[in-house]
Amino acid sequence: MSSEPPNSIHRRHQPPQHHHLPQLVQGNITIATSSATNTPTSPVIYREYRKGNWTLEETLVLITAKRLDDQRRSKPTTMDPTMPRHTGELRWKWVENFCWNNGCLRSQNQCNDKWDNLLRDYKKVREYDTKISQSTNLPSYWAMDKQQRKDHNLPSNLTQQIYQELQDVVQKKSPLKILPPPTPQPPMPAAMHQQPPPPPPPSTVAPATVVSEASVSSETDWGSNLDPDAKRKRVRDIASSILHGASSLARALKRCEEKKEKRHRELMELEEQRIRLDEAQNEAQREGVASLVAAVNNLSGAIQTLASDQRPAS
């Protein structure tokens, strides 16, 4: 009977303390509670997340967590259909808890961003592998150094181990996207092979056919009716036309070379003039400095003479 008042006082003051707990957490430190967050006895864990680049071990832990999370969510559940499904934030909170329990001290936002970056790099490398399988001129991604990978717009630090782990997760997550090789189509029935195509309209196709046949026949008749002299004359005309065109091209190239040589000479003359002007300017500066030094020396000599003249008088 004597212990009832303390217990009642404890139950009366406990809800306000639990209500004010979230207001005490600020900055980069967050709070993770157990699954029974609605109970007043839920433990409070203060987490200070690690920042900076991800290590290989942290990346492998994240990939393992994502694989297990996909397997967990793909299993059929017996939950009440009226209850809301897990949101993306809660799913990534599960990934964060798994990573935290395995030494990867990262937040759910860091895990989400890192996973998006890993998938983007994986897709780039996979597309490049598909491209090099069709062309033998491209080097393998795993044989290139970092600079070559950057030149091909590829991720520079993706290791083969991480690529294999990502490939395993992606293939298990979406097995329907991996299509089997296409099967050969069954042979078409003989009736479909023997069916003739529909005849074209006679009003539009017939004149074109007649014109094309007439042009082909006229060309063959003209070529066969030429005598050897006419053929030789035609060959000479073609040869003279080719020679004339070649000579015209040679003259044009010669004029172009002459113009280039002329421009080069003009540029050299301008460069020589600039050098002469620079030398003249430097010479003028040297003469000015020499004159200034001589004037200073004369002034100092005059001052010394004046000083020596005034000493006996004093």
* DSSP category for residue 175: G
More confident residue, 42 or 36: 42
Structure confidence at residue 89 (pLDDT): 60
Structure confidence at residue 211 (pLDDT): 40
| Residue 314 pLDDT greater than 80, yes or no | no
Q: What is the mean pLDDT of residues 140-169?
A: 90
Mean pLDDT of the chain: 74
Structure confidence at residue 121 (pLDDT): 94
Q: What is the mean pLDDT of residues 157-179?
A: 78
SS3 173: helix
Contacts of 274 (CB under 8 A, 6+ apart): none
Closest CA to 173 of 184, 165, 181: 165
Q: What is the mean pLDDT of residues 80-102?
A: 75
Residue 68 exposed, middle or buried by CB count within 10 Å (0-12, 13-18, 19+): middle
| Residue 28 pLDDT greater than 50, yes or no | no
Q: Under a CB-based contact definition with an 8 Å cutoff, are residues 58 and 104 in contact?
A: yes
Q: Under a CB-based contact definition with an 8 Å cutoff, are residues 70 and 169 in contact?
A: yes
* pLDDT, tens only, 54-66: 999 999 999 999 9
- Tell me how far apart the alpha carbons of residues 128 and 144 are, in angstroms, rounded to a whole number: 12
Enter the tokens of residue 285: 């500066």
| pLDDT band per the 50, 70, 90 thresholds, residue 38 | very low
Whether the pTM exceeds 0.95: the reply is no
Structure confidence at residue 94 (pLDDT): 93
| CA 35 to chain CA mean position, Å | 42
Alpha carbon separation from 193 to 160, 187, 196, 197, 283 (Å, rounded): 51, 10, 8, 10, 97
Single-letter code of the amino acid located at 223: G
| pLDDT band per the 50, 70, 90 thresholds, residue 100 | very high
Q: What is the mean pLDDT of residues 120-135?
A: 88
- Tell me how far apart the alpha carbons of residues 175 and 52 are, in angstroms, rounded to a whole number: 34
Full 3-state SS string of 228-273: HHHHHHHHHHHHHHHHHHHHHHHHHHHHHHHHHHHHHHHHHHHHHH
Q: What is the mean pLDDT of residues 154-159?
A: 91
Contacts of 125 (CB under 8 A, 6+ apart): 141, 154, 155, 158, 163
| pLDDT band per the 50, 70, 90 thresholds, residue 13 | very low
